[in-house]
Structure 1
């Protein structure tokens, strides 16, 4: 499924530029993706659209990406979320949020879509794709440093 999502991200500039599900299904099939992968991705994208409709976000030019939730608030992850996401993914979500690039409303969509991903666990690379897809759906392009963090393979990095 994640290969299909990457293809969609790379080929459609914004979520609103993506064709309707039936047309997208034909295009994905023409590019050689397996029917079950296409179906999983389309169901996942439909869930992303539903989640996005329930979030009231300001216009792109007015987005406040500050890390300041309401005073004294704290997000506690359920046991199911902890099991599915693991320490690496939860740490990455916290990093993005504390860096001011993932507002609480988008964090909740990221967690929701990660929980909807197939399999028992979500690896960090899959979570990064999910974050990119959430940004994509809202038409937000992360700045270059965050985009590098989302697209870079950390295993190839050399510690100094």
Structure 2
């Protein structure tokens, strides 16, 4: 089974980050558990580095309507039209602000996937929002979107 960094991140998010349990294992214990679950050492290290490099943005101070986002060629190669459209949608409805959108794009590009699909993008958005102070409402809204989509797939 080929696991990648996003799979490790999802496992960590579902089992440690977004839980009521405030006690977190140390890095060595966590790495050992991830290896026992079946993740490869290289993907584990990349995922932990990805989390370590999570950017926290300061609140926006200028008018968000004055910003226009033009995607670079490399971003277009990695984010298809559905992903780019979804980012625009999330920004228009207020889930993402300009700074948080940029953190999401930077974190998506930091994954070792050639192309990111919409489901992976949604999880990255959820993880980024989790780490942003003052974005609890946006996080809750995004969490509902992600899990509502999962329930639709299951049924």
1:143 to 126, 140, 147: 140
Task: Give the Cα separation in 2 of the matches to 1:46 and 1:150.
Answer: 23
SS of the residue corresponding to residue 94 of structure 2 reads: coil
Which residue of structure 1 lines up, in the alignment, with residue 86 of structure 2? 92
2:16 aligns with 12
Number of equivalenced pairs: 142
**TM-score, normalised on structure 1?**
0.73
Question: Which deviates more, 119-128 or 87-96?
Answer: 119-128
The unaligned stretches of length 5 or more in structure 1 are 58-63
**Structure 1's 134 and 80: CA in aligned 2 closer, same or farther, altered over 3 A?**
same
Q: Does residue 36 in structure 1 map to residue 48 in structure 2?
A: no
Greater RCO, 1 or 2 (C-alpha within 8 Å, sep 6+)? 1
Q: What is the TM-score when the length of structure 2 is the normalising length?
A: 0.75
Looking at structure 1, the residues matched to 143 and 99 of structure 2 have their Cα atoms a distance apart, in angstroms, of: 19
Matched residue, 1:61: none
